[in-house]
């Protein structure tokens, strides 16, 4: 059975991690941030055994957890990654939690406003290219994210800007925009 949680800020997120550790829980925490980024944190008997966030895994992902500001989480008891999956050894859980407690939350990187196609209507062909390119950066969830943004996008530029912001890593976001622009040309 899955437990569902909401956290309003970074410190509440870290408190949730500490709670699972103290309760000696085993399973997977899936957190969806307010910026539509997904974090996955595995606990084995209260110890953090694996972390992935923003296309990073292990200690690199841990440092990026400070970009989490608010969101929702689901804990799936007993769900663990494959035992033979390669993973980087992490620091002791108490050290990880102390680091996260002391770390200052970082702002999410802002995506630059795209202004290459002013006033260009968002066509089905544009939507197809945007979704295909976004999926290369964030995976199959791209379809859901695209639907959300396509419903409110005023034009091609606003859709491209909004989708780039979903990537969470400025370098990847810029690469996404460049790839889309190369595919679309002058639209």
Residue 177 CB neighbours (<10 A): 20
For 67-115, the pLDDT digits (tens) are: 888 889 999 998 777 655 667 788 999 999 999 999 888 765 555 678 8
Q: Which residue has the tokens 């939507």?
A: 127
What is the C-alpha separation between 73 and 93, in angstroms, rounded? 19
Write down the pLDDT at residue 60: 86
> Cα 163 to the chain's mean position, in Å?
13
Q: Which two tokens stand for residue 131?
A: 């979704």
Find out whether 36 and 145 touch, Cβ atoms under 8 Å.
yes
The residue length of the chain stands at 187
Q: Which residue has the tokens 């941030």?
A: 33
Q: Which two tokens stand for residue 51?
A: 């972390």
For 144-166, the pLDDT digits (tens) are: 889 888 988 889 999 999 898 88
Find out whether 3 and 74 touch, Cβ atoms under 8 Å.
yes
Q: Which residue has the tokens 């997904």?
A: 38
Find out whether 33 and 105 touch, Cβ atoms under 8 Å.
no
Find out whether 68 and 103 touch, Cβ atoms under 8 Å.
no
pTM comes to 0.59
Write down the pLDDT at residue 179: 94
């Amino acid at each position: 059975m899955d437990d569902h949680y909401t956290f309003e800020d970074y410190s509440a997120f870290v408190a949730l991690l500490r709670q699972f550790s103290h309760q000696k829980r085993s399973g997977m925490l899936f957190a969806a941030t307010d910026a539509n980024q997904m974090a996955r944190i595995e606990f084995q008997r209260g110890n953090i055994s694996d972390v992935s966030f923003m296309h990073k895994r292990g200690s690199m992902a841990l440092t990026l957890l400070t970009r989490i500001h608010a969101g929702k989480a689901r804990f799936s008891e007993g769900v663990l990654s494959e035992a033979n999956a390669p993973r980087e050894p992490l620091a002791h859980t108490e050290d990880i939690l102390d680091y996260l407690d002391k770390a200052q939350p970082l702002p999410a990187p802002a995506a630059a406003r795209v202004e290459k196609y002013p006033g260009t209507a968002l066509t089905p062909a544009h939507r197809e290219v945007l979704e295909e390119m976004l999926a290369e950066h964030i995976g199959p969830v791209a379809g859901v994210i695209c639907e959300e943004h396509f419903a409110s996008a005023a034009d091609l530029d606003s859709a491209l800007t909004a989708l780039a912001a979903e990537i969470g890593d400025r370098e990847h976001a810029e690469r996404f925009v460049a790839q889309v622009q190369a595919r679309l040309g002058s639209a």
